[in-house]
Structure 1
Amino acid sequence: MNDKANKAVPVKTARTRKTNVFTSVVWIVPLIALAAGGWLAVKHIRNTGPKITLLMDSAEGIEVNNTVIKVLSVDVGRVTKIKLREDRKGVEVTAQLNADAKEMMRSDTQFWVVKPRIDQSGVTGLGTLLSGSYIAFTPGTGEAVKDVFEVQDIPPIAAIGQSGVRLKLVGKNDKILGVGSPVLYENFMVGQIESARFEPSDQTVHYTIFIQSPNDKLIRSDSRFWLDSGLSVETSGSGIQLNSPPLPALLSGAISFDSNPKADSRQVENEAQFTLYGSRSEVVNLPDERSLYYTAFFKQSVRGLAVGAPVEYKGINVGVVSDVPYFERNASLKLFSDGMVPVRIRIEPSRLEINAETQSKAHWEQQFQTALNRGLSAVIASNNLLTGSKMIELTDHAGASPKLKPYGVYGGHTVIATQNGGLDDLQAQLGDLLAKFNKLPLEQTVAGLNGSLAELKNTLKSADTTLRSVNTLVSRPQTQNIPNELNQTLKELRQTLQGVSPQSPVYRDVQNTLNSLDKTLQDVQPLVNTLKEKPNALIFNSRIQDPIPKGSR
C-alpha cells in the first residue's frame, strides 16, 4: 500500500502558446469609451454655465425647453423649469445658461421678455410671431455675482455699453407718463423714461430717466424739468398759440427740460434728483430771490383771473398773479360784509432789467414804493375776449381816484391801490346809460312826433292841392295869351296917339302911362317865362336844387 503511495506520479510537461490579438483588443474598447466619456463629461462641464432663477409676473409665452435666453440675438441658454412662486405672486423660471454667459450674471444684469409690442417707439418684436417669445438680457458690469433676477415686461432704456446719466425726478403732477416716453430738450429727443411710479403716502410721482451721452452735458445743476403733455393750447392777449411737440411726445407725452449754464452752475452726477413741474408756464413763472409780493383788493368780480395771469405795466410783462383769492386766516368770513376780494401779485425785477445791469432787491423795492406814492394802482383788464381770461394792469394815470384799504399791509405784503376799469367798468357805464335812457318819456315824445307828422301830412296835402290849381291856371290858353293881348293893345294905343300933339298934356300923360306899362311888362316877362318852365315856382323856391335820392346802405 505504501508502495503504491510512493509510486511516482507522472509529471506533464507545460507548453506555451501565443495569445490571440483579437482577445486583447476587446479590453481596449472599454478603456477608450471610458476616456471618451470622461472627455465628454469634462467638455460638458466646461460648456455648461450656471443655472439662474428668473422671477416673473406671468409665464405667458414661456415654454420649457422651447423658450431660449438670448443676448445680442445669440442663444446662450434655455428655460428648463417653470413653477409657481411660494408667495403666489408670480412664477419662478429656471434657466440653464452656457458657459459663455457665466461672467455676465452680475448684480446689475437686466432681463426682459421680447414679444410683439406697439408703443411710442414704434413696432418691435415682430420676429417672435413665428419663433415665439424669448428672454433677453443686458450683461452686468457689477462686481457681485447674482443668480436670481427680476424679469421686466419691457426692455431697459440704456443699451449695452451705452454711456450717459441717470436722474431721478419727483413732482406732484395730475398725470403719470409711461415707461419709454421721451425726454426732450428744445423738441430734440435726448433720453427716455426708465421707470415711473406713484407714491400714495405723499401723493408724488417718481420718475427715473436716462439721458444718453453726449446729451448728458446739457444737464446742469440749475436745469428745470416739466411735463410736456402732448398738444398744448395757450391763450394770451396776443391770441391763441398752438404748440405741438414731436410725434412720440404727442402720442404719449414727454418730459422736457431747459438748461442755463451760468457761472455758478455745474454738471450733475449720476442719480441726481430734480423737481418735476406740471407745465412750462409753471417753470417760467417760478419766483426767485428778488421777487416782490404785493396785495390788491378788488370790488369787482375776479372771474377769469387765474394764478399765473400776467401783470403788465404799459404793455410790458412785469410779473404774474400769485394767488386768487388771497385771504388771511378767517378773513373770507367777512366777504359778504366787506365785498372786497384780495389778490396777491408778484413782481419780477428780472423782467424790468431789459438791456440793463442786475440791481438789488432793495433797489426795486424803493423804485416800486416811489411809484405807489405817485399814484400807481392796479386794474383788472381783459386779457383775451375770446376766452374771457383776465389780467392785472398797473396804471399811473393822472386824475385817477384809487380806492385804498384802511390798512397798508395785508398778509405781510404792501397793499396796492385799485381802480375800476376794463370791460367790467365799461359794462357798468353802459348799464347806467341804458338806465337813464329808460327814464326818458319816450311814449309822450313818440305821441308828439306822431301828431306833428299828421299835421305835416295835412299841410303837404294842401300844398299839393294849391299846386294843382296853379298848374291848371297857367296851362289855360287865356293865361298864356295875356302878353300877346297886351302888346296888341299898346300897338293900337300908339296908332291912336299919333294924331295928338306931342306938346299937349294928354300926349304927355299917355306917354308916361305907356312907359310905365312897358316897364311893367318887362318886369312881368321873366315871371311869365318862369311859370312856363316851372308852373310850381310860385310855391317852391326855384333856386334850391331838387334833392338827389341816396342809395340804400
Structure 2
Amino acid sequence: MTEESEPTKDAPAAPPEVTVVRRKRMRLSLVWLVPIAALVVGAVLVVRALTSVGPEITITFRNAEGLEPGRTEVRFKEVVVGKVSRVALSPDRERVRVSVKLDKSVESLAVEDTRFWVVKPRVGLAGVTGLGTLFSGSYIGVDAGVSAESRTHFTGLEAPPLVLRDEPGRIFKLVAKDLGSLDVGSPVYYRRARVGRVVGYALDPAKDTLDVQVLIEAPNEQLVTNRSRFWNASGIDVTLDASGFQINTESLASLIAGGVAFGNAEGEGAAAAAPAESQFELFKTRKAALAPPDGPAQRVRMVFDQAQRGLVVGAPVDMLGLEVGTVRSVKLMHAPGSDRFPVEVTADLYLQRLGSVRSQFKPAAASNKQVDTLFLKQLVDAGMRAQVRTGNLLTGQLYVALDFPQKTTKATLDAEKVPPTLPTIRGTLADLQPQLAEIVARLGRVPFDEIGNDLRATLRSAGAATDGLKETLASANDAIKRLSPDAQRALVDVQKTLVAAQAALANLDRNVTQSSAPLQQNVNQALIEMKRAAQALRVLADYLQRHPDALLRGKPADPDPASLNESGR
C-alpha cells in the first residue's frame, strides 16, 4: 500500500495508483506426452486384441502324438485358423486335452457337429495321405459343422472322416450277404473307370446282412439309376464255357484292395437318377447282377434213393439245359420201418426264367406261388422227373436235371403240400455202376497168370532168336570186313564198265537216231533183205506143204512150153 499525502496547491494532483495482480499459468511439460501416447496405443491394442481373439475350445484325443503347444496349427481347407495353446492329460489320465485358440473369423466352427482330427502320414487302401506333414509337422484338420448350437468341448477323431460334409457326390447303401475282400477305401467302378469308393460298412443283425456304404463322386452320381445293378468286382472272374476260357477283372487295384462295380442290364430303357441313400443289392458276380429278374423263388423237395456224393449246396438245377434254380440243402433221411436212408434235396426254382413257356400258363390262382405250383403239376403230368447227373467228370460234381424221359412210371404232384415234392428217377451214374461192376467181374475172369506165363516164354524165345541174330550179324560183319578190299576193286571195275556202257549207248543213240548215219542205212537195208528172206521162206513152206516128197526128189524141171501147147490141143 502507498501512504496518502496532502496535495499541494502548486503541484497537480497525481493519478491514483493501480494495483496489478498477476495469475500464475500452469504449464504441461512435454515429458508427459510419452506415457499418454503409450496408454492410448496400449488401449487400442487391448481393444483390438479383445475384438480379434476367437473362442478357445478343448479337443480330446487318445494321445498327443505330433501336437506341440504354440506350434501345431489348426487348418480348415489348408488355411490356418488357430493354434494349439496347451496340451495336458485328462483327470483320469486316459486321454489328452488339447486347448485350441481359434481366430475370430472362424468363430462359427465352434458348433455342435464340427469334427477335428490329427493330419499325419497314413497308408491305406485309398493311397498314401499326409505326406506334406513330413516337413511341416502334424496339424489339426477341421470339418465344419452345420449346427446352430455352439460348443467348446469336442472329441477328436482318430482317423480322418471318410466323407467330408462339403464333398460333392451321393452316398448309396448296398446290401450284401458277406463283405468278401471289400474294405473302407475300396474303389467303385463304372465301365472300368473309377467313380467312387467304399466309405463304410456295418452289420444288420435283424436281417443277417451287411450294409455297405459307397460314395459316388460328382459328377458321376448321375450314372446311378433306379435300375442300376451292383456286384463285387474283387479278384478274378474265371469263366469256362463253349466259347473258351475267359478271365475278367476290373483293374489291378481291385485284385489287391477289392472293389465294387455297377452297370445297367442291356435292353432296359432310360431311368431316372437314383436319389441319395438309395438301397441296392450287391451281387457276387457280374453275371448274376445283369441276369434278368428271377422273380419269386418256388421251393421244391426231391427224394433220391441212392447216395448223392458230389451234390452240394449251390449246385445248379436245370431244365432241358436251361438253369432254372439252385440247390439249397442236402439231407440224409431214414425211412421208418426200413433200412433205407434216402437223400432229401431242397431247391429254389425260378420259373420265370422259362420266359414265354411260363407266361403262357395262366390258371386262375390267388398268388404267383400258386401259379408256379400248378405249373409244376402240369409239367409232372407231362412226364417231367428230377434226376441227378454228373456235371464234371474230373471233380465229380453233380447237378439236378429236370427232364422228360421216354420210359417212366406215372406220377403226380400234390399242389397242396408245402413245399411240393417232385418225382425222381435214378441217376445216370447209378445205372453206370452195375455196368462197371460187370466189366470188372469179366476182367477178373481173364487168365492173366497164364497169359503172363505164355508171354514170358515168348519173350524168352524172342531173346534166344535175338541172340542168334546178333551172332549172324557179327559173322556177316566180319565177312564184309574181309571182303572189303576185293569188293572195292570190283566196284571200281563195275563203275568203269558202266561208264563205257554209257558212252556206247550214247554213240548208238546218235547213230540210230540220225537218218543219214551209216548204221541207220545199213539197218534199213538189212531189214529189207530180212523181209525178202521171210517172203522166200513163206513160199518154200507153202511148196513143201503141197509137195513133201520134194525134200527127197528135189524140185522137178519145168516143162517145155511147146509140149504144153501140143498136149493142150
Asked if Structure 1 and Structure 2 have the same fold, meaning a TM-score greater than 0.5 normalized by the shorter chain, the answer is: yes
Conserved in 2, the CA contact under 8 Å of 1:80 and 1:95?
yes
Q: Residues of 2 paired with 1:131 and 1:405: CA distance? A: 81
1:345 to 340, 344, 347: 347
State the TM-score, normalized to the length of structure 2: 0.63
Contact 2:185 2:197 in 1 (8 A): yes
Instruction: Tell me how far apart the structure 1 counterparts of residues 412 and 240 of structure 2 sit (CA, whole Å).
Output: 32
Distance 1:54 1:358 in 2: 69
- SS of the aligned residue for 1:320 comes to strand
Contact 1:120–1:248 (8 Å) recurs in 2: no
Quick one: distance in 2 between partners of 1:336 and 1:87? 72
Taking a change above 3 Å as real, the CA distance of residues 428 and 144 of structure 1, as seen in their structure-2 partners, is farther
The 5 Å alignment of 1:381-392 reads 381-392=389-400
Task: Name 1:529's counterpart in structure 2.
Answer: none
Q: Which residue of 2 aligns with 1:369?
A: 377
1:370 is paired with a residue of what secondary structure? helix
CA contact under 8 A between 2:181 and 2:257: conserved in structure 1?
A: no
C-alpha distance in 2 between matches for 1:355 and 1:402? 25
* TM-superposed deviation, 1:132: 1.3
> Structure 1: how far apart are the matches of 2:153 and 2:188?
31
What letter corresponds to residue 337 of structure 1 in structure 2? D
Does structure 1 residue 246 correspond to structure 2 residue 251? yes
- The residue identity in structure 2 corresponding to 1:195 is G
Q: Once the two structures are superposed, what CA deviation does each residue of 1:24-67 show, in whole Å capped at 9, x if it has no partner?
A: x3333333222222222222233222222223222222222221
What is the DSSP-based 3-state SS (H/G/I as helix, E as strand, rest coil) of the residue aligned with 1:190?
strand
Q: TM-score scaled by structure 1?
A: 0.65
Partner AA of 1:415 in structure 2: L
Q: Which residue of 1 aligns with 2:443?
A: 437
Partner of 1:460: none
Distance 1:170 1:32, change over 3 A: farther
Do structure 1's residue 309 and structure 2's residue 315 form an aligned pair?
yes
CA distance in 2, matches of 1:202, 1:373: 39
Distance 2:350 2:410 in 1: 25
Equivalent position amino acid for 1:430 in 2? L
Distance 1:44 1:316 in 2: 81
The answer (yes or no) to whether the contact 1:228–1:253 under 8 Å persists in 2 is yes
Any conservation in 2 of the 1:403–1:417 contact (CA below 8 Å)? no
Report the Cα distance in structure 1 between the residues aligned to 2:218 and 2:348, rounded to whole angstroms.
Answer: 39
Match of 2:403 in 1: 395
Using the alignment, how far apart are the partners of 2:36 and 2:83 within structure 1?
Answer: 34
Question: What is the aligned partner in structure 2 of residue 112 from structure 1?
Answer: 117
Shift of 1:68: 0.9
Distance 1:171 1:303 in 2: 30
- Cα 1:346/1:170, change in 2 over 3 Å: closer
Q: Which runs of 5 or more structure 2 residues have no equivalent in the other structure? A: 1-18, 363-367, 463-569
Q: Please list the CA deviations of residues 93-130 of structure 1 after superposition, one character each: whole Å capped at 9, or x if unmatched.
A: 22111122222344443333221122222222221112
In structure 1, runs of 5+ residues without a counterpart are: 1-11, 458-553
Report the CA distance between 1:69 and its aligned residue.
0.8
CA deviations 1:138-159 (Å, max 9, x no partner) are 3233433343333334333435
1:412 maps onto 2:419 in alignment: yes
Task: Using the TM superposition, give the Cα deviation of residue 87 of structure 1 relative to its aligned residue in structure 2, in angstroms.
Answer: 5.4
Of 190, 202, 215, which residue of structure 2 is paired with 1:210?
A: 215
Paired residue type of 1:393: A
CA RMSD of aligned residues (A): 4.5
1:60 is paired with a residue whose SS is coil
- Partner in structure 2 of residue 27 of structure 1: 32
Q: CA deviation at 1:236?
A: 6.9
- Aligned partner letter, 1:414: T
Other structure's SS at 2:160 match = coil
User: What is the SS of the residue equivalent to 1:36?
Assistant: helix
Q: Secondary structure at the match of 1:55?
A: strand
Q: Is the 8 A contact 1:182 1:254 kept in 2?
A: yes
Q: 1:171-220 CA deviation, whole Å, 9 max, x = no partner? A: 55265743222233454433222233457898754443322233333445
Partner of 1:504: none
Aligned match of 1:474: none
Identity %: 30
SS of equivalent to 1:83: strand
Question: For 1:83-98, what aligned pairs fall within 5 Å after superposition?
Answer: 83-86=88-91, 88-98=93-103
Residues 306, 426 of structure 2: 8 Å contact kept? no
Task: State the secondary structure of the residue aligned to 2:128.
Answer: strand
The aligned counterpart of 2:547 is none
Q: In the TM superposition, what is the alpha-carbon distance from 1:134 to its structure 2 partner?
A: 1.2
Which structure would you say has the larger Rg?
Answer: 2
Q: CA 1:374–1:186 in structure 2 vs 1: closer, same or farther (change >3 Å)? A: same
Say yes or no: does 1:325 pair with 2:333.
Answer: no
- Looking at structure 2, the residues matched to 102 and 355 of structure 1 have their Cα atoms a distance apart, in angstroms, of 70
Q: Give SS of 1:29's match.
A: helix
Provide the C-alpha distance between the structure 1 equivalents of 2:305 and 2:122, rounded to a whole number of angstroms. 59
Letter in 1 for 2:312: A
**Matched position secondary structure for 1:211:** strand
Structure-2 separation of matches of 1:72 and 1:87: 34
Residue equivalent to 2:303: 297
Amino acid at match of 2:381: N
Matched, 1:67 2:75: no
In the TM superposition, 1:5-16 aligns within 5 A as 15-16=22-23
1:479-498 correspondence to structure 2 within 5 Å: none
Cα gap change, 1:254 to 1:403, in 2 (>3 Å): farther
Q: How many residues align?
A: 436
Checking the alignment, whether the CA contact within 8 Å between 1:50 and 1:97 is kept in structure 2 is: yes
